[in-house]
Amino acid sequence: MNVYQFGSRWSSQNSLWPLLLIISLATLILPACGSGPDTAEAAPDELERAIQNKGSDTLVNLALAWAEKYREVDPSVSIAVTGGGSGTGIAALINGTVDIANASRQMKAEEIAAARENGIDPVEFTVAIDALAVVVHPDNPVSQLTIDQLADIFTGRITNWRDVGGNDAPIIILSRETNSGTHVYFLEEVVRKGDKENEDIFAPQTLLMPSSVGITSEIRRNPNAIGYDGLGYVTEHEKTIAVAKDSHSPYVRPSVETGADGSYPIARGLYMYTAGEPTDVIAEYLDWIRGPAGQAIVAQLGFVPLTKE
Amino acid sequence: MSTTDLTTNHEIEDSSPASPAKRLIPTEWREFIIEGIIRVAGVSTIFIVGLIFLFLLREGLPAFLDIPLRQLFGKARWYPIEGYFGLLPLLVGSIMVTVGSVIIAVPLGLTTAIYLGEIAPPWQREILKPLIEVLAGIPSIVLGFLGWVALAPLIQRFGAPTGLTAFTGSLILAYMALPTIISISEDALYAVPKEYRDGALAIGATQWQTIWRVVLPAAKSGLVIAVMLGIGRAIGETMAVMMVTGNAANIPALGSNMFFQPVRTMTATIAAEMGEVAQGTLHYNVLFGIGIVLFSITFGINSLASRLVGGQSTRRRRGQL
pLDDT in tens, A59-78: 888 999 999 999 888 888 88
| pLDDT range class, residue A308, cuts 50, 70, 90 | low
Which residue from B minimizes the CA distance to A214? B243
Tell me the chain A residues in contact with residue B33 when contact means C-beta distances shorter than 8 Å.
Answer: 19
pLDDT at residue B288 greater than cutoff 90: yes
Over residues A209-224, the mean pLDDT reads 88
| pLDDT range class, residue B100, cuts 50, 70, 90 | very high
The backbone torsions φ and ψ at residue A254, rounded to the nearest 5 degrees and listed phi first, read -75, 135
Over residues B165-177, the mean pLDDT reads 92
pLDDT at residue A38 greater than cutoff 50: no
pLDDT tens across A246-272, in order?
Answer: 888 899 999 888 888 888 988 888 999
A230: CB partners within 8 A, 6+ apart:
A58, A104, A130, A131, A132, A133, A182, A212, A303
Contact A205 B9 (CB under 8 A): no
Q: Determine which of A25-29, A129-133, B68-72, B141-145 has the lowest per-residue pLDDT on average.
A: A25-29
Contact B278 A91 (CB under 8 A): yes
Which residue from A minimizes the CA distance to B156? A222
For position A1, what pLDDT does the model report? 37
d(CA B57, CA B50): 10
pLDDT at residue B11 greater than cutoff 70: no
Tell me the chain A residues in contact with residue B246 when contact means C-beta distances shorter than 8 Å.
Answer: 207-208
Percent of chain A's residues with pLDDT above 70: 84
Q: Give the DSSP H/E element, type plus range, for residue A99.
A: none
Q: Is residue A52 classed as helix, strand or coil in its secondary structure? A: strand
Contact A19 B1 (CB under 8 A): no
For position B75, what pLDDT does the model report? 80
| pLDDT range class, residue B301, cuts 50, 70, 90 | confident
d(CA B20, CA B294): 52
Contact A16 B273 (CB under 8 A): no
DSSP single-letter state for residue A107: P
Does A96 contact chain B (CB < 8 Å)?
A: no
Q: Mutation test of the interface with chain A: which of B88, B156, B264, B276, choosing the one with the most A Cβ atoms within 10 A?
A: B276
Closest CA to B57 of B315, B293, B239, B317: B293
Which residue from A minimizes the CA distance to B153? A221
d(CA A195, CA B311): 65
d(CA B213, CA B217): 6
Tell me the chain B residues in contact with residue A1 when contact means C-beta distances shorter than 8 Å.
Answer: 321
pLDDT tens across A234-251, in order?
Answer: 888 899 999 998 888 899
Does A5 contact chain B (CB < 8 Å)?
A: no
**Mean pLDDT across chain B:** 84
CA-to-CA separations, B203 to A55, B196, B198, in angstroms, rounded: 72, 11, 9
pLDDT at residue A44 greater than cutoff 50: no
For position B20, what pLDDT does the model report? 57
Tell me the chain B residues in contact with residue A88 when contact means C-beta distances shorter than 8 Å.
Answer: 275-276
Closest CA–CA distance from residue A116 to any residue of chain B (Å):
13
Does B19 contact chain A (CB < 8 Å)?
A: yes
Contact A11 B4 (CB under 8 A): no
Closest CA–CA distance from residue B204 to any residue of chain A (Å):
30
Q: Determine which of A134-138, B16-20, B82-86 has the lowest per-residue pLDDT on average.
A: B16-20
Does A27 contact chain B (CB < 8 Å)?
A: no
Candidates A15, A184, A204; nearest CB to B30: A15
Candidates A91, A208, A224; nearest CB to B161: A224
Contact B248 A111 (CB under 8 A): no
β-strand partners of A239: A136
Candidates B8, B16, B22; nearest CB to A4: B8
| pLDDT range class, residue B22, cuts 50, 70, 90 | low
| pLDDT range class, residue A213, cuts 50, 70, 90 | confident
Which residue from A minimizes the CA distance to B17? A12
Does B276 contact chain A (CB < 8 Å)?
A: yes
Over residues A156-183, the mean pLDDT reads 90
Does B273 contact chain A (CB < 8 Å)?
A: yes
User: Is A135 within 8 Å of A238 (Cβ atoms)?
Assistant: yes
Say which residue, A288 or A213, is predicted with more confidence: A288
For position A181, what pLDDT does the model report? 81
DSSP single-letter state for residue A204: T
Percent of chain B's residues with pLDDT above 90: 43
Q: Give the DSSP H/E element, type plus range, for residue A145.
A: strand A144-146
d(CA B64, CA B85): 11
The backbone torsions φ and ψ at residue A257, rounded to the nearest 5 degrees and listed phi first, read -70, -50
Over residues B228-234, the mean pLDDT reads 85
pLDDT at residue B37 greater than cutoff 70: yes
Q: Is residue B198 classed as helix, strand or coil in its secondary structure? A: helix
Does A224 contact chain B (CB < 8 Å)?
A: yes
Say which residue, A44 or A17, is predicted with more confidence: A17
Vertex A304, ends A299 and A307: CA angle to 5°?
Answer: 105
Which residue from B minimizes the CA distance to A226? B162
Contact B279 A95 (CB under 8 A): yes
pLDDT tens across A2-37, in order?
Answer: 333 333 333 434 455 555 555 555 545 544 444 333
pLDDT at residue A278 greater than cutoff 60: yes
Which residue from B minimizes the CA distance to A225? B162
Candidates B8, B248, B273; nearest CB to A206: B248
Which residue from B minimizes the CA distance to A3? B5
d(CA A143, CA A160): 15
Say which residue, A107 or A19, is predicted with more confidence: A107
For position A83, what pLDDT does the model report? 87
Q: Give the DSSP H/E element, type plus range, for residue A142.
A: none
**Which B residues 173-232 touch A at CB under 8 Å?**
none
B18 CB neighbour count, 10 Å cutoff: 9
**Mean pLDDT across chain A:** 82
Q: Which conformational region is residue B50 in: left (phi greater than 0), alpha (psi within -120 to 50 degrees), or beta?
A: alpha
pLDDT tens across B44-78, in order?
Answer: 999 998 999 899 999 998 888 888 888 888 888 89
For position A13, what pLDDT does the model report? 44
DSSP single-letter state for residue A266: S
DSSP single-letter state for residue B1: -
B122: CB partners within 8 A, 6+ apart:
none
